[in-house]
């Protein structure tokens, strides 16, 4: 498949939300985009019983639907201090099947499940697949040496992706990634210097996911306690939060597809004290005044 070149000149654009005139209790068919969306229902629904479906078929379906997903580098170190990059594939078929790149003593692991859990305490999560064997990452993050989670941005996505090469465990992917180890303050594992946002973490909890039928521990969920954050000043705005136009994060989609931030719309959260009268009027009279 022939694809056009990457557009380095594209910029994030802020717009209105899709339906800025929407009012309380308004049905989706009252907007043009809503009517077009509902036309798709005419083709019906496919219902899948996950107990009966092959897990190999569930994976590409779920990862293509639960999108976009954030992408992270997780760096850990073994008790012997060995650091190198090597791939881990969540799917044993697809060469690039996950979203998080996890560095440990023996390999970088690509995983699909990474996100923030809470800010108090500051926790993030990622998952390690244990099939066909328990990987080194869940072992390493339990050793008390700490680890780092680094967010990937557009300019070095190829550098990160090369860690997915199916090299033998003894091969050091750092040598081909072109990425730079930067020292951490609190943990032994290095952070990725090219990342504009890195988190030094300690293990908060490791949760083994057991299959309800087979009893097999298929996955380990890692809850990581963020102890230190390293953020580049140039990606912060005047309010001290990330400027998405400078941050340029990438997102994981289905199969080997990734996404970038394009048009961004702002949508304020309704506040009851300000909207109570309007809501009551709509519910009583059927109209918004």
Tokens of 223: 């809850």
Beta strand pairing call for 250-252 and 258-260: antiparallel
- Residue 246's contacts (CB-CB under 8 Å, 6 or more residues apart) are 234, 235
CB-based burial, 193-220: b 16+ in 10 Å, e otherwise? ebbbbbbbbebbeeeeeeeeeeeeeebb
H or E element in which residue 221 lies? strand 217-231
pTM above 0.95, yes or no: no
H helices of the chain, in order, are 32-39, 55-65, 136-140, 157-161, 174-177, 244-247, 272-285
Q: Which residue is associated with the tokens 């040496």?
A: 145
pLDDT of 152 > 70? The answer is yes
H or E element in which residue 250 lies? strand 250-252
pLDDT tens, residue by residue, 73-130: 778 777 877 764 532 333 333 333 333 433 333 333 444 578 999 999 999 998 887 7
What is the model's pLDDT at position 168? Answer: 66
Given pLDDT bands bounded at 50, 70 and 90, which one contains residue 27? confident
Q: What is the C-alpha to C-alpha distance for residues 181 and 192, in angstroms, rounded to an integer? A: 5
What is the model's pLDDT at position 232? Answer: 93
Beta strands in 6-155 (DSSP E): 13-15, 69-70, 72-75, 100-103, 108-111, 114-119, 122-129, 147-151
H or E element in which residue 259 lies? strand 258-260
């Amino acid at each position: 498949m022939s694809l056009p070149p990457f557009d380095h000149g594209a910029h994030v654009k802020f717009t209105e939300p899709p339906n800025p005139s929407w009012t309380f209790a308004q049905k989706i068919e009252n907007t043009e985009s809503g009517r077009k969306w509902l036309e798709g229902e005419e083709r019906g629904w496919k219902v899948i019983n996950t107990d009966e479906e092959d897990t190999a078929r569930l994976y590409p379906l779920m990862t293509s639907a639960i999108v976009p997903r954030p992408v992270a580098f997780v760096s850990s170190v073994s008790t012997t201090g060995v650091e190198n990059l090597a791939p881990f594939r969540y799917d044993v078929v697809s060469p690039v099947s996950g979203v998080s790149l996890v560095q440990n003593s023996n390999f970088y692991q690509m995983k699909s499940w990474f996100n923030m859990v809470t800010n108090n305490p500051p926790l993030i999560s990622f998952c390690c697949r244990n099939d066909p064997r328990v990987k080194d990452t869940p072992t390493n993050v339990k050793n008390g040496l700490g680890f780092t989670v680094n967010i990937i941005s557009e300019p070095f996505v190829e550098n990160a992706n090369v860690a997915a090469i199916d090299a033998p465990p003894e091969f050091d992917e750092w040598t081909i990634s072109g990425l730079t180890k930067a020292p951490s303050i609190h943990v032994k594992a290095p952070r990725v210097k090219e990342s504009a946002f890195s988190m030094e973490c300690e293990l908060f909890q490791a949760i083994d996911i057991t299959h309800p039928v087979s009893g097999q521990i298929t996955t380990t969920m890692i809850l990581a306690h963020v102890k230190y954050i390293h953020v580049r000043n140039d990606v912060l705005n005047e309010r001290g939060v990330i400027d998405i136009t400078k941050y340029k994060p990438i997102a994981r989609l289905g199969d080997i597809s990734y996404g970038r931030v394009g048009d961004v719309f702002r949508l304020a959260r309704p506040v009851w004290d300000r909207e109570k009268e309007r809501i009551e009027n709509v519910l009583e009279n059927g109209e918004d005044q």
